[in-house]
Chain A
Amino acid sequence: MFHALVGIKQVPDTTNIRIDPETNNLIRQGVPTILNPYDAHAVGAAVEWKRKLNGKVTVITMGPPSAVIALRECIEMGADRAILISARQFAGADTLATSYVLAEVTKAIHEQDPIDLLFFGKQAIDGDTAQVGPGVAVRLGLPVVSYAVKIREVNLEQRYVVIERKTENRNEVIKTSLPTAMTCEKDIAEIPFASLPDLVYSLRYVPEVWTAESPIRFDFAQLGLKGSPTTVFKTGTPERHVAGEVFKVAELGVEWVVKAALDKIMAAGDVDSILGVKK
């Protein structure tokens, strides 16, 4: 039976984050948390292939207790099992400490119920690091196909998968042995609408909670802040640039304003050649 595991993250909706102009602090209050968008598409792909191959989808996340909301959303989309990995020891984890936890949990699940494909979103929109997926793969010794845009074939008998991935200049079609890890672009699948049975199932579903000691005992030295080689040295707000002149079409007329803009662009030296005109 096909078994897909999806690693997801609940993130603040960064498009709604604002900075307090007085204190320069991040205003987190009232910022909704959402299932990381790329992860939602990864869940969509996992569910799509579970239906094709008659299998199941397990979703895992490391995060605070409130992350069960994101897990439940995955169940609504058609995932079968959801695990929240949550304990104070995990707090402050950077990508290396996170990949340790997710890799250990994946191993434990794999022992009970062998995994064929390991899905991640290509990156989370809060950190944008894109490191956790490849990190987990490395820890498990698995090949990783990042920036996946399409799964062409999953062959459970001959134990391979064919995935199309995006690179800077072209797409590549890669064949790898199962199990394989992949990180997904949004193109990988549509976000599935909840079907009625899945919706009903999700309402009753209570995600499992795994802690730092149960059901597996982690090496505490590799967890959270303690297990993170990187630390934040300082934070600040982006420097502000000096604003230039602003002209209003309503006051000066479009012809005049555009001419003023072109004159100024041409006067800016280097840009001269761009317009192909000299004054």
Chain B
Amino acid sequence: MTRRFWVYIEQEDGKVHPVAWELLGVARRLADEVNDQAVVEGILVGNHVEEIAQEAIHYGAETVYVVDDPRFKHYLNKPYTIVLTSLAQKYGPEVFLIGATTLGRDLAGAVATSLRTGLTADTTHLAMGEVKDSSKKLLLATRPAFGGNVIATIICRNHSPQMATVRPRVFSSAPRRVDAKGEIVHETIPITPDMINAEILEFISNEVATVKIEYADVIVAGGRGLGGPKGFALIKELADELGGVVGASRACVDAGWIKYDHQVGQTGKTVRPKLYIAAGISGAIQHKVGMQESDFILAINRDSHAPIFEISTMGIVGDLYEVIPSMIKQIRALKEAKHD
């Protein structure tokens, strides 16, 4: 029997969320850990999404099941849940991965309940592994719990599919292969208005939300050590100088100094930029789990015992209001020297 490893290809307005390509990479690895009968397949719901289906093949989907219908143009929980539930019932996937995005978390919780199966949220590590008393390898889904203080590996032994949502940016994208071959299968799901009973009246653009900190190369993040909301002006100045974006610890968001969209950590975004500057962030575990995979972490803190220094590539013990202005000045000098 074919063992199917499914990935939900999340898209909105014809734009794919990059986590979909990350999941295709993960699913390929998991399928390879099982045997050669395992296949990686994509699930795509929307309207006019043929091009995306083709892209999914380039990123490693062997088959893409497409539900393309004007009624599915925009995401709504209930109709999308019905679609995914009936496809899963029809094909019986063994593993089903969905991005732990705003949309994905909403959808996955409903689909898992509808299928009466287990779902592990916000996973940061996935593997197929031997489990005692199980004839086949199971999905070992690992996630932080209790604010990141504990790492728990969850299994779903007797129910299928084994579902997990996966945080964006935890895994790297699958490689795009120009010559990849795959099949696009169109599916129709009978759906009536009473199955939807919801409509979108209006969209309101949210400028802050367009800051995608999880895909930024440079993040300058501020914490409680800023002392107040005004400190973010300085953080922003350095971020602008580096072509980066502004991040924040949960303490600042809870205090109302900056919007949630900037929050890095367990309850915020997971990031892995090339450069992460943590200014005035003590480094509570819940923050660290969201940024410790950054390539280069520069920590600036007055307290030499701050836990952030345990994971920093380099640490500066000092007043950020002294260090950051000096940094901005020196970067500007370097840039000028380059132009000369």
A217 lies within 8 A of chain B by Cβ: no
- Contact yes or no, A257 B210, CB < 8 A: no
Q: Which residues of A contact B150 (CB under 8 A)?
A: 19, 26, 235-238
With A173-B202, A257-B323 as known contacts, state yes or no: A131 contacts B121, CB within 8 Å: yes
- Contact yes or no, A176 B121, CB < 8 A: no
Q: Which residues of A contact B63 (CB under 8 A)?
A: none
Shortest CB distance A186–B (Å): 8
User: In the complex, A276 Cα to B333 Cα: how many Å?
Assistant: 12
With A170-B205, A177-B197, A257-B323 as known contacts, state yes or no: A277 contacts B315, CB within 8 Å: no
Q: Which residues of B contact A246 (CB under 8 A)?
A: 304, 309, 312, 314-317
| Among B119, B198, B296, contact of A145 (Cβ-Cβ < 8 Å) | B198
With A167-B102, A268-B296 as known contacts, state yes or no: A236 contacts B151, CB within 8 Å: yes
User: In the complex, A96 Cα to B115 Cα: how many Å?
Assistant: 10
User: In the complex, A128 Cα to B286 Cα: how many Å?
Assistant: 12
B191 lies within 8 A of chain A by Cβ: no
With A177-B197, A249-B316, A250-B318 as known contacts, state yes or no: A169 contacts B154, CB within 8 Å: no
Shortest CB distance A221–B (Å): 12
User: In the complex, A246 Cα to B144 Cα: how many Å?
Assistant: 28
- Contact yes or no, A138 B81, CB < 8 A: yes
- Residue in A closest to B337 when the chains form the complex, CB atoms: A277
Question: What interface size band does chain A fall in?
Answer: 35 or more
With A171-B203, A243-B311 as known contacts, state yes or no: A271 contacts B275, CB within 8 Å: yes
| Among A14, A229, A261, contact of B147 (Cβ-Cβ < 8 Å) | A14
| Among A14, A129, A132, A177, contact of B146 (Cβ-Cβ < 8 Å) | A14
Q: Mark A201-240, 1 if CB is under 8 A from B, else 0.
A: 0000000000000000000000000001111111111101
Q: Which residues of A contact B204 (CB under 8 A)?
A: 164, 170-173
B66 lies within 8 A of chain A by Cβ: no
- Contact yes or no, A245 B151, CB < 8 A: no
User: In the complex, A264 Cα to B299 Cα: how many Å?
Assistant: 13
Q: Which residues of A contact B76 (CB under 8 A)?
A: 143, 174
- Contact yes or no, A144 B203, CB < 8 A: no
Q: Mark A77-104, 1 if CB is under 8 A from B, else 0.
A: 0000000000000000011100100000
Q: Which residues of A contact B34 (CB under 8 A)?
A: none
User: In the complex, A15 Cα to B286 Cα: how many Å?
Assistant: 8
Binds A, one of B25-33, B86-94, B176-184, B324-332: B324-332
- Contact yes or no, A257 B198, CB < 8 A: no
Task: Tell me how many residues of B have a C-beta within 8 Å of chain A.
Answer: 99
Q: Which residues of B contact A270 (CB under 8 A)?
A: 274, 295
B189 lies within 8 A of chain A by Cβ: no
Give the one of A14, A95, A236 with max B CB within 10 A: A14
B230 lies within 8 A of chain A by Cβ: no
Shortest CB distance A116–B (Å): 14
With A135-B109, A232-B152, A257-B318 as known contacts, state yes or no: A168 contacts B101, CB within 8 Å: yes
Q: Which residues of B contact A171 (CB under 8 A)?
A: 203-204, 206
A119 lies within 8 A of chain B by Cβ: no
A190 lies within 8 A of chain B by Cβ: no
- Contact yes or no, A265 B275, CB < 8 A: yes
Shortest CB distance B103–A (Å): 7
User: In the complex, A106 Cα to B254 Cα: how many Å?
Assistant: 32
User: In the complex, A232 Cα to B145 Cα: how many Å?
Assistant: 11
A200 lies within 8 A of chain B by Cβ: no
Give the one of A135, A247, A261 with max B CB within 10 A: A261
Q: Which residues of B contact A234 (CB under 8 A)?
A: 152-153
Q: What are 29 pairs between A and B in contact, CB < 8 Å?
A: A26-B149, A95-B119, A96-B113, A96-B116, A99-B113, A130-B109, A131-B119, A138-B114, A143-B78, A166-B102, A167-B75, A168-B103, A169-B206, A172-B202, A173-B204, A177-B197, A229-B117, A229-B158, A231-B155, A231-B156, A238-B150, A240-B311, A244-B297, A250-B317, A257-B323, A261-B314, A265-B314, A270-B274, A271-B275
Which residues of chain B have a CB within 8 Å of any CB of chain A? 12, 17, 74-78, 81, 101-103, 105-106, 108-110, 112-114, 116-122, 131, 140, 144-159, 196-206, 209-210, 217-218, 242-244, 250, 266-267, 274-275, 284-286, 288-289, 292, 295-298, 304, 309-319, 322-323, 326-327, 330-331, 334-335, 337-338
